[in-house]
Amino acid sequence: MKLNRQLAERTVEIDDAIEEQVRAILQDIRQNGDAAVRKYAKRFDQYDGGFLLPRTQTGVDRERDIFEDRVIAAAAEQVDCDFVRILERAKTQIEAFHEKQIGGGFEIKKPGGVVMGQLVRPLQRVAVYVPGGTASYPSSVLMNVIPAKLAGVPEIALFCPDPNREVLAAAKVCGVDTIYKLGGVQAIGAAAYGTETIRKFDKIVGPGNIWVATAKRLVYGAVDIDMVAGPSEILIIADEHADPKYVAADLMSQAEHDTRARAILVTTSEKLIGAVENELERQLAYLGRKAIIQESLQNYGAAILVDSIDAAFDVSNDIAPEHLEVLLDEPMQYLDKINNAGSIFLGAYTPEPLGDYMSGTNHVLPTGGTAKFYSPLGVYDFVKFSAYSYYPRHALADFKEDVVQFAQLEGLPAHANSMKVRF
């Protein structure tokens, strides 16, 4: 089955006009530091204060540090105690899953005293971007900070233009080191290049609008980033036994994110498609983000009818969805058929929102078909690897002539000389 271009060739949106403006802001920040950052914070966020909300930053006045700890603690106390319990439970779940990702170092001892291996070292400074105000997501704090903590990152800072009490509570639960009341392109530029107030970071992670996503893409190279995320996506594989209520509800759970979100049903049952359409209409009547869901489904939703379950998985692997739900009986038996998906949800009682908050798997996922070559955010995103080797003289002698010939073949006489001078 050949997919239409809209599904097969999804790409991260690039707006040339936005890119030009973002590039100019980043250049200004690179050249003028704090002055430029303050200018754009005032222009875009109507914020003219300091950037720093410290918790445990070295060199910060201790009284200010204690005061700010109290501010964060006080904000957390204003959050419903049951929500704090939920945050703690989610943290436990996320830690239990991500702890299994720790590792990757090894050492090989070979004949003749040769030793080779791989070191795993954490990044030193990571910036986590979280949108502010009504768009704030405390779940994003958990999903980005916890893997970095498990990796051993010694300094993790949160950038948020308007951190509300739920975000502050999540930051407290996770043990964020510093919070910068700063958002937008100016936050990305400050984290990527550093200013008089903000030291340069090694990596920037976290969600944002098209301005933030564009800025992250443009600073990549000066700093590492998690990924350039596009609109949210869900693909559901279902047969005639699937409950249309579940299918419709799960499609809308992603469609409500954004008018550009993609919700796709792939099924062997034409009858199910009709039943899901009826359920979508029925359930939409009582959902608060009805207009967003309707526009998303109308412009980017799809129902694809296939003649076999194998064909359904072929379609899914071509699309490489961010979220894949398998609403089939005995869903575990189909894992071998899945090559490309960000996060996989198996069975009728593993809906995608469980993964957003509480299952323990990460909800920072590749979109736009990039699940063909990207992975979900994990501990491995916050470490780097260094190879090492040790050769005694007699072991090097065994490779001398081969290395010399290889170097001469490539026209690099100094490489060859480096070997010859030792003998």
For residue 386, is it within any domain? no
Confidence of residue 39 (pLDDT cuts 50, 70, 90): very high
What's the pLDDT at 47?
77
Same domain, 48 and 76: yes
For residue 118, is it within any domain?
Answer: yes
In this structure, the answer to whether residues 190 and 252 fall within a common structural domain is no
Q: So what's the pLDDT on residue 273?
A: 98
Checking if the pLDDT of 57 tops 60, the result is: no
Listed residue (322, 328, 288, 290) closest to 309, CA to CA: 328
Q: Which of 323, 325, 352, 363 is catalytic?
A: 323
User: Which residue range is the domain that position 407 belongs to?
Assistant: 392-420
Identify the pLDDT of residue 333.
97
More confident call, 230 vs 154: 154
Structural domain includes residue 278: yes
Residue 236 counted as domain residue: yes
Burial class (CB in 10 A: 0-12, 13-18, 19+), 46: exposed
Residues 276-326 have pLDDT tens digits of 999 999 999 999 899 999 999 999 999 999 999 999 999 999 999 999 999
pLDDT exceeds 70 at position 43 = yes
Same domain, 187 and 283: no
Dump pLDDT digits (tens) for 128-160.
Answer: 999 976 667 899 999 999 999 999 999 999 999
Residue 56: the pLDDT is 43
Check pLDDT > 60 for residue 64. no
Backbone angles phi, psi at 236, to 5 degrees: -115, 125
Domain boundary among 225, 259, 281: 225
Mean of the per-residue pLDDT values for the chain? Answer: 91
Looking at 172, 193, 225, the residue that finishes a domain is: 225
For residue 70, pLDDT over 80 is answered with no
Q: Do residue 216 and residue 235 come from a single domain?
A: no
Confirm whether 5 is domain-assigned.
Answer: no
Q: Is the pLDDT of residue 60 over 50?
A: no
Average pLDDT over residues 331-336: 97
Whether 380 maps to a domain, the answer reads: no
Predicted confidence (pLDDT) at residue 207 exceeds the cutoff of 60: yes
What is the number of domains present in the chain? 3
Domain shared by 290 and 155, yes or no: no
Residue 385 placed within a domain: no
How is 133-168 classified by DSSP, letter by letter? GGG--HHHHHHHHHHHHHHT-SEEEEEESS--HHHH
CATH classification of the domain holding 185: 3.40.50.1980
Q: How far is residue 174 from each of residues 79, 132, 140, 380, measured CA to CA in Å?
A: 15, 18, 11, 18
Q: Which pLDDT belongs to residue 164?
A: 85
Q: What is the pLDDT of residue 97?
A: 97
Based on the domain organization, do 25 and 166 belong to the same domain? Answer: yes
Residue 387 lies in a domain: no
Judge if 108 and 176 occupy the same domain: yes
pLDDT score at 49: 64
Largest CA distance in the chain: 83
Q: How many Å apart are CA 44 and CA 186, to the nearest integer?
A: 9
Q: Calculate what percentage of the chain has a pLDDT beyond 90.
A: 78
394 is catalytic: no
Q: Which pLDDT score is estimated for 68?
A: 54
Q: Residue 1 — pLDDT band, cuts 50, 70, 90?
A: very low
Residue 70: both structure tokens together? 């109290």
Please pick, among 68, 155, 233, 322, the residue that the annotation labels catalytic.
Answer: 322
For residue 120, the surrounding DSSP H or E stretch is: strand 114-122
CB of 156 closer than 8 Å to CB of 176: yes
- Shared domain for 196 and 175, answered yes or no, is yes
Determine the pLDDT at residue 10: 59
For β-strands 125-129 and 155-160, DSSP reports them as parallel
- Give the pLDDT score at 52: 62
Same domain? 37 vs 120: yes
Please say which residue of 168, 202, 225 terminates a domain.
225
pLDDT category, 162, cuts 50, 70, 90?
confident
Instruction: Say yes or no: 219 and 293 in one domain.
Output: no
Read off the pLDDT of each residue in 211-228 and give the average, rounded to a whole number.
95
pLDDT at 349 over 50: yes
Query: Is pLDDT of 5 > 90?
Result: no
Closest of 283, 342, 318 to residue 7, by C-alpha: 318
Using DSSP's 3-state secondary structure scheme, residue 350 falls into coil
* pTM for this entry: 0.90
Confidence of residue 78 (pLDDT cuts 50, 70, 90): confident
**Predicted pLDDT at 62:** 40
**What digits encode the pLDDT tens for the residues 246-260?**
999 999 999 999 899
Task: Note the pLDDT of residue 136.
Answer: 73
Q: Same structural domain for residues 264 and 401?
A: no
Per residue in 232-241, pLDDT tens? 999 999 999 9
Q: Exposure pattern of 76-93 as b/e (b: 16+ CB <10 Å)?
A: beebeeeebeebeebbeb
Instruction: Report the percent of the chain where pLDDT is more than 70.
Output: 90
The answer to whether residues 208 and 244 belong to one domain is no
Confidence of residue 9 (pLDDT cuts 50, 70, 90): low
